[in-house]
Amino acid sequence: MNLLIEIVKQRWRDRNDFFVGGNMFIYFSAQQVLNRDYRGPDFFVVTDIEEKPGMRGKWVVWEENGRYPDVIVELMSPSTFQEDLGAKKELYERTFRTTDYFCYDPETEVLYGWHLGADGYQPLKTDQQGRMWSEMLDAWIGPVPGEYLNLQWTWLRLFDAEGSIIPIAAEAERTRADAEAARA
């Protein structure tokens, strides 16, 4: 999920009205903290917020003007599959009111997704490449084989409206350097 975090930070580098994080707890009520019933999504984005200096080690909804994540992505495993598609989906739909929720199963390379409508979550359909449109990210999200941090894997990546991969900073710099070398 670090790749998705890096992509969003690079894509929105000129913005200061969002937070992107992952593998950190979201605290959404004092009662839930007492019950130790908090969630730690693998990836999430919150928009329309004020940038705060320093690092956040957790997301505390009541300290963030009541803002819940707008997008959540969970990386599924055999041990989390049922919870990701059941209890978490229900929580993100009914309590968090998260606009776009995605679950990715790396074993089968299947992406599941929902968009929050007036009647709750509506399932998203994949395009021919197995991607789904995220309104909140203004991008396609989908699996693609590749290398990241010297690991070959099928990663979740973001794609622009035309279907071009949205690069991380290192990829954008490499493309710029290649174009400059071609002009020389």
* pLDDT at residue 153, rounded to an integer: 93
The CATH number of the domain holding residue 81 is 3.90.1570
* pLDDT at residue 88, rounded to an integer: 94
* pLDDT at residue 89, rounded to an integer: 96
For every one of its 184 residues, what pLDDT tens digit does the chain have, with 9 covering 90 and above? Answer: 899 999 999 999 999 999 999 988 888 876 655 555 566 899 999 999 987 777 788 888 888 999 999 999 999 999 999 999 999 999 999 999 999 999 999 999 999 999 999 999 999 999 999 999 999 999 999 999 999 999 999 999 999 999 999 998 888 888 888 888 888 7
3-state secondary structure of 137: coil
| Parent domain of 108 | 2-183
Residue type, 14: D
* pLDDT at residue 35, rounded to an integer: 56
Structural domains counted in the chain: 1
Paired tokens of 151? 């690991």
Centroid of chain to Cα 63:
21
CB atoms within 10 A of CB 147: 9
Which residues lie closer than 8 Å to 106 by C-beta, 6 or more apart?
75, 76, 153, 154
* pLDDT at residue 33, rounded to an integer: 55
State the greatest distance between any 2 C-alpha atoms of the chain, in Å, as a whole number: 63
Compute the distance between CA of residue 163 and CA of residue 77 in angstroms, rounded to an integer. Answer: 28
Compute the distance between CA of residue 44 and CA of residue 47 in angstroms, rounded to an integer. Answer: 10
CB 99 within 8 A of CB 115: yes
CB 140 within 8 A of CB 159: yes
pTM passes above 0.85: yes
* pLDDT at residue 71, rounded to an integer: 98
